[in-house]
Each structure stands twice: as structure tokens, then as C-alpha cells.
Structure 1
Amino acid sequence: MKKNNIVLVGGGSTWTPGILKAMTTHLDQFALNRVVLYDINSDRQAVIGQFAEILFQEEAPNVEVIYTTDKAVAYNDVDFVFCQMRTGGFDMREQDEKVPLSLGVIGQETCGPGGFAYGLRSIRDMVEMVQDVRRLSPNAWILNYTNPAAIVALALDKLFPDDTRILNICDQPVNLMRSYAKLIDRDVNTLEPEYFGLNHFGWFTAIYDENGVDVATEIKDIVKNGGFRPVDAEQRDQSWLDTYAMVEDMLNDFPDYLPNTYLQYYLYPDYKLSTLDPNYTRTDEVRKGREQKVFGECKRIVENGTARDSSVVHNDAHGDMMVEVAASIANNLRKTYIVIVRNDGIVSNLDDDVMIEVAASLGKNGPHPYAVGNIDTFYKALIENQHGFEKLTVEAYLEGSYTKALQALTLNRTVVDAKKARKVLDKLIEANKGYWPALN
């Protein structure tokens, strides 16, 4: 089995320890030669980098581990790029959430105006990353977790239409699958999903067990009668528990399919707005929770010189999915994952340029998505509206167009009103100086 060289972009992230741990536990599927952590924040990078050195020394001592702030070192001679950028860090995430809330609109990092703002920041750095990687490692696979994945995927498809080694992915469908499996007491590895939509905007139409039986109805009945909690509920903040609980409401109103949890913001914007505290948002929760826990634990590990019996890993699904996707590609395993691809007829009654999220087999030649066919009017209309928002957001960035930015926010179901959209846009422009292109 070939030993791979990996670079993890955003190496100072709180999610990095989980990905690193997944690398050491999946060495039988995905062999490693070198792992490089790359981040522009040297202080965060050093803490996670020192943890990585100890972890690999104990669990995979033959793998070289490097952490760096030099992109020439990071991107040179790599087979896979694992990307999880957060342009602007938590300071700008706080603006994404609190600016819209201050004007009576939902503030959430990937949905609505917050996702719009984050998307306009992410595009620039993602484009630069692709260009740097292609210069130093022309054949590397780029596996992207960077949010908002829908907007990033659309921008990269538009700017690099012939690059077949960029794959945008999201772990939320995997988190949901693991949670469904726990509900019905099954091994998630024996379940196979059918899914369609956009990133953070999709539905499971069926979930088959090892005998080909669709267990989606069984799952729906359990959720509608007993609620829904994530498989790792004990590790989750209250906002995530509230998010999963909303699946019961969505199923009671729209029982056709099992929904992605993020749909709550689009289907119930007034209700969700009423539950959000403009002075204490998800960013504050993460800073006081996961951020302190992960960095505190990494520092403790460095001081003690051992990562054994550590509780630093948060959300195994996040790391497992990234490594398993890479393994399926590298070893031509053709396993099924839910990924983001260009539509090109997969959903028959949507435009070809929609970047849809669907189930696909993954091998050496990338994703081979499974056909969905026609979708019903309600879901088609929701997706077309959301795609219009995403497409106009990308065009606003590329053209420096204030008008298209305003159109995008007006279309978004969390805003709707053009006067609100203009107020939010103007305040976000001020907050994002230095990150966004000029919008005229």
C-alpha cells in the first residue's frame, strides 16, 4: 500500500486532533509517510503541532510529522490536502452571528447572512490555496471541509472547472447517519443512504440496511414519538442538542424525508430567531467550551509527554470521514459517501450547474454519484431558491457587485425583506473590511 504525504490546512483548528487521531487509527486503510500541519496562526499551530508529534510518536512512530506556517513547505510533494480554513477566525465568526442578530435577522455561521459573509471571506483564501497546491503538487487531491461548503464549492467549480481533484465534503450527513444508527441499534457501517440537496440543505430519501430494507420509516417513527439526539450528545453544547431536537418538528410538518438539521433555519426563521441570544451566540459557546477544552487538553498532553488516555478528540465522525474518503480514493475502494458534486443531470429537473450533495461511490477517479431523478415541487423550489442565493453570492464576489450581493441576501429565506437585506449588507461590509472585495 502506498504511503501518502498529507497536509492539513488549518492545522491550528480545534478539529485537528480528531483528524490526527483518525489518521493513526486508520493506518491499515490509509498508510502515511508524512503529515504536515499548516496554519497562518503560529501560536495555535504550535500547541496542536506539539500534540501531533507526541500522538504520532506513540501511535505511528514511522510517520514524519511537521508543523509550519510556510506554504512552500506545506504544499510541496503532497498526495492529499485536507482543508479546514476559517478565514478571520472566531473574531469574524462572532461578527457573522452578531451583526445580523443586531438587525433582527438570524445570525448563524453557514446559513443566511452569516454564511454569506463567511463565504465571501473563504473564497479568496480557497482560490489562493488551490493555486498554491497546483503549483507545488499538481496531482494532489484537495478534500475540503471549509465552510460554507456550498458557496465554496460553487466558486471553485466556476474558477477551476477542469480540476477533477477537488472534492468538497461535509460531516453532518455522517453525524446524522451515526445518530440514526444508534436510534435503531444498528451498525452505521451496514447502512447505505439515498440523499439529495445542497450542502446544509438536503434530505435522506431512504436508508437501506444490509438486507436492502429501507429503515427510514422506522427512524421517522422513533423521532416523531421520542425526539432526536446526536449520537455524541454527551459531548455536545446545548445549541447542538436544540438543533437535533428540531428534526422532530420538521418531520411532523414535512414527513416525506429525513431532513438535514440546518434546514431548521430556512423552514422556521422566525421561531429560530426568537431562540437566539444576540449577546451570546454559538461563537461564545465554542470559545468557552470546545476551544478551552481542546487547547487545555493539548497543553496538558505536551506537559506530560503522552497522549494516552486523552479526551482531546471531539466528534470522531469529523476526522473519520476525512480519512475514510481519502482512503477510498487512494485505494480505489469505491465506498459510498455523501459528497458535493456538479449536478450535470443527477437531479433531472435541476440546472446542471447546481453543486448538489448526493451519495456517490469514491475511487481513484473521484466520485461517481448515484442518479436521483426528478424531485417534487416543494423540494425543487426550496433548492432553486437557495441555489440562487449561493450563485449570486459567488457572482457578487467575482464581479464586485453590490447589487448581486443585495439580491442574494434578499432571496435568502432567513432574510426575505430587501430593506432588511440592505441594512445587513451595509453593516457586514463595514465588519468585513480587508476581507471582502469592494462591492460597487
Structure 2
Amino acid sequence: MKLAVVGGGSTYTPELIDGFARLRDTLPIEELVLVDPAADRLELVSGLARRIFAKQDHAGKITTTTDIDAGVADADAVLLQLRVGGQAARNQDETWPLECGCVGQETTGAGGLAKALRTVPVVLDIAERVRRTNPDAWIIDFTNPVGIVTRALLQAGHKAVGLCNVAIGFQRKFARLLEVEPGQVHLDHVGLNHLSWELGVRLGGPDGENVLPKLLAEHGDAIADDLHMPRKLVDRLGVVPSYYLRYFYAHDEVVKELGTKPSRAAEVAAMEKELLEMYGDPALDEKPELLAKRGGAFYSEAAVDLAASLLGDGGSPVQVVNTYNNGTLPFLADDAVIEVPARVGRDGAVPLAVPALDPLYAGLIANVTAYEDLALEAALRGGRDRVFKALLAHPLIGQFDYAEGLTDRLIAHNREHLAWA
């Protein structure tokens, strides 16, 4: 089995490598290709990757290339984890929206749209290269904004599934609180990427006992603290929202906070510099503890599980993924991309039936899906007016003056990445 990781020079790649090494019985990789245009980073990351494989007695071969076509050739699956523009572009996404009084964040609001506009054309070009060299390969997208990027891939006819670590993070957290194995915890996880709620936490499988009320009663303070939300909000909802919902439920408070501290991108850039120095140490043969602060916890486990299910029979039968709606949420079009539990196998992902949604959640999902429709149109076709309409439609913006100002700033800060600008 051969896998390719596009964006393999990421400082986060050793987390993925560690998962491949530990879970080699689930996903028996013979060759892993790390693909990245940054040859210097590739050398540091791949050196540590080989040492991790060697320490854990993994027989797989790790190779590197800056050539996408060569890297994806003959791959059974291609994982996308790229960041167009790097941390510098992310830093802009997180700062210029604040000038208009809006949240600055890399996956939602104006910053999320900027990232989508930069990313979708690049991802589609990579996917076309995969299709030309190996049309049977699965594409697993971990590149944000996952929902929009996955929809672009599916709409273009690619074999693609989107992946996020939010659900597996909740699963692991709830398993610890319940003192059970993670595999015993099934989530009624419903929504869009970075806009989701845990409507139930079931033991033993999709039809198991819902222990979410017990979790909230016994561990509500800890859960609310992790979300950075008030306990009274979580109690009134009676569900566990993704921490990304804080941008919606406490928008003004978050804007004030973001204006008083360095951007997350600045923090990550400093962390990446330190990590790369660590990776250059020939004595290091495991992922460093600092990497846990980089974000993306449990991504490796989720990626292994998904790839194993798509390529064979090794993964979990039900996983939370991003895929076509196909009637799962009746108020959305079939070709909307949602994030829900699905049965995953060689033929792809088929969403399970989900509980009926309260209008409180359905309304926001419908609103953000409409924004994503417009965002994808802007990413595919370009144009200032399409950017403006997408911004105006976003529930975190929604005002003419904000949308006008944000449109000008978005284009000014991303002109080098926008072929039409």
C-alpha cells in the first residue's frame, strides 16, 4: 500500500507518522511519500519520520519529493494537508477582519473565505493531477476549510472524503470522562465542518444508551471550560457545541479578546520554528511534546481509520466525515457537504440517519450552507461581487458596510493568490 501526503513538510506531519507507525496493523503502509515544495522542511520532517518508523520497527519506506505528479503516482490514497500562503497568510486572515469589527479566524468568517479562495484552485489542480496519474486513488482532505474544499472536490467528480479532528477529539474526551474505551463511544455529531453539535453520546454503538445527560450533569463544568463557554449556555442547550460555535454565540466578546493578544498564527509560527529545530536533532526519534500544542489532536488516528476503511476492511465501520448530504438533512440540497457519522467502505461514505434538528441548529446550518455555496462560487469563478455576496451572506458579517470593507481588505491581502484580482 502506498500513501502520499501533500503538505508533507508540515511541522504537524510527525503526528501523522506516529499514528501510521503505531497503527500499522490497521493500515499496513509499504511506502509513504511526503510531497511539499519546501525542500528544506521536507528534509527535516522526513528525517524525523524515518527515525520514528525505525524506533517502532515499521518496515515501510518513507520517500520525499517536491514534484506532485511523481509523489501521487500509483498512490492508493492521497492526504491533503496544505496551507496556501503559509502562516503569513493565516496571520492576515486572523487580523484584518478585526479592523472591521469582525472575528478574525482562519476557517470561518472573512478569514475563512480568504483561505477558501486561496485553497480551492490549488486543491483542484492537485486532484486533477491525481486523477490523471491514478484515477482510482482516494483523496482524503484535511485542508481547511474542509467543508468547502471537500465540496469542490466532490463537485468536480473526485473520489474524496473530508476529515476533521473535532469529532474524534470529543470522542476521546468523553471516553476518558466515562472511563471506557474510545471505541465504545458513538457520537450523534451533526452539522457542518466547524459548525457542529454533539446531540447525543451513545455507549456501544449508534443505537446505544444516550449518556450525554449524565456527562453534562457530572462533568458540565469541565466540558464548558474546554469550550470556553458558560456552563449555563451548555446546560440550556442540553447538547455540546463545537468550540467553533463560540465565534457565533459570543462574537463580540471574542472580537475584543482577539484584539488584545497576538494572533494564533503568530503563536504557531514561533512554535513551528522551535519544532523544526527539534526535528533537526538526529537523536530525536519520537514526536516531541511541544507538537501537542500545535493543534489537530488525534488527527493521525482519524486519518488511519478513514484510510483503512476506504482501502480495505481495517477501519471502524462508522466514522464522522464530511461528505454529500444526500437527503440526510432534509432542509439542505443533496449536494451540500455535511459532517455526520457515516458508514465508510471501499465505495466511500454513506451518512447515517441523524436525529431531527431543533430550528436553533437547523437555521444556522442552512445559513452557513448558503454562505458556503456562494464562497465556492467565488473560489471557482472569482470576482469582487461574488466575494462581497459571500461575505454579506455569512452570519458573522451580514451587514453592508462590513461586507464592503472586508471585500476590499480580502482582495488587497490576497491579490498574489487570486488569478482574477
**TM-score under structure 2 length normalisation:** 0.93
Q: How far apart are the structure 1 equivalents of 2:260 and 2:97?
A: 9
- CA shift in 2, pair 1:229/1:335, >3 Å: farther
What corresponds to 2:117 in structure 1? 120
Q: Is the 8 A contact 2:187 2:198 kept in 1?
A: yes
Matched, 1:307 2:285: yes
Q: How far apart are the structure 2 equivalents of 1:354 and 1:61?
A: 40
Q: How far apart are the structure 1 equivalents of 2:261 and 2:100?
A: 13
Q: Is the 8 A contact 2:138 2:160 kept in 1?
A: yes
The secondary structure found in structure 2 opposite 1:82 is strand
The percentage of aligned residue pairs carrying the same residue is 28
| Within-5 A mapping of 1:365-376 | 365-372=347-354, 374-376=356-358
Name stretches of at least 5 consecutive residues in structure 1 with no aligned partner. Answer: 231-243
What corresponds to 2:266 in structure 1? 284
String of CA shifts for 1:245-302, please: whole Å, max 9, x gaps. 22735414422x221111111222112112113661111121233x1442232122x2
Q: How far apart are the structure 2 equivalents of 1:153 and 1:308?
A: 31
Q: Which amino acid counterpart does residue 200 of structure 1 have in structure 2?
A: H
The secondary structure found in structure 2 opposite 1:95 is helix
Equivalent of 1:63, from 56, 60, 63? 60
The secondary structure found in structure 1 opposite 2:180 is coil
What corresponds to 2:105 in structure 1? 108
Q: Is the 8 A contact 1:154 1:390 kept in 2?
A: no
Matched, 1:245 2:228: yes
Query: What value does the CA root-mean-square deviation take over the aligned residues?
Result: 2.0
- CA shift in 2, pair 1:57/1:265, >3 Å: same
Name stretches of at least 5 consecutive residues in structure 2 with no aligned partner. Answer: none
**TM-score under structure 1 length normalisation:** 0.89
Q: How many residues align?
A: 415
Q: How far apart are the structure 2 equivalents of 1:55 and 1:181?
A: 27
- CA shift in 2, pair 1:228/1:188, >3 Å: farther
- CA shift in 2, pair 1:52/1:174, >3 Å: same
The secondary structure found in structure 1 opposite 2:417 is coil
What corresponds to 1:96 in structure 2? 93
What corresponds to 1:322 in structure 2? 303
String of CA shifts for 1:17-57, please: whole Å, max 9, x gaps. 00001001111111111111001111221110111122223
Q: Is the 8 A contact 2:79 2:141 kept in 1?
A: yes
- CA shift in 2, pair 1:270/1:252, >3 Å: farther
Q: Is the 8 A contact 1:98 1:279 kept in 2?
A: no
Q: How far apart are the structure 1 equivalents of 2:261 and 2:39?
A: 30
Superposition deviation, residue 398 in structure 1: 2.1
- CA shift in 2, pair 1:250/1:148, >3 Å: farther
String of CA shifts for 1:155-197, please: whole Å, max 9, x gaps. 223222xx3x211110111112212222232322211111211
What corresponds to 1:433 in structure 2? 415
What corresponds to 2:209 in structure 1? 213
What corresponds to 2:391 in structure 1? 409
Q: How far apart are the structure 2 equivalents of 1:91 and 1:249?
A: 37
Superposition deviation, residue 223 in structure 1: 4.3
Q: How far apart are the structure 1 equivalents of 2:192 and 2:245?
A: 11
Q: How far apart are the structure 2 equivalents of 1:222 and 1:113?
A: 38
Q: Which amino acid counterpart does residue 388 of structure 1 have in structure 2?
A: A
| Within-5 A mapping of 1:173-252 | 173-210=167-204, 212-228=208-224, 244-246=227-229, 248=231, 250-252=233-235
Which is worse superposed, 113-122 or 63-72? 63-72
String of CA shifts for 1:386-427, please: whole Å, max 9, x gaps. 011111011122232322211211121221211111111101
- CA shift in 2, pair 1:51/1:159, >3 Å: same
Superposition deviation, residue 322 in structure 1: 0.5
- CA shift in 2, pair 1:309/1:407, >3 Å: closer
Q: Is the 8 A contact 1:83 1:144 kept in 2?
A: yes
Which is worse superposed, 201-210 or 119-128? 201-210
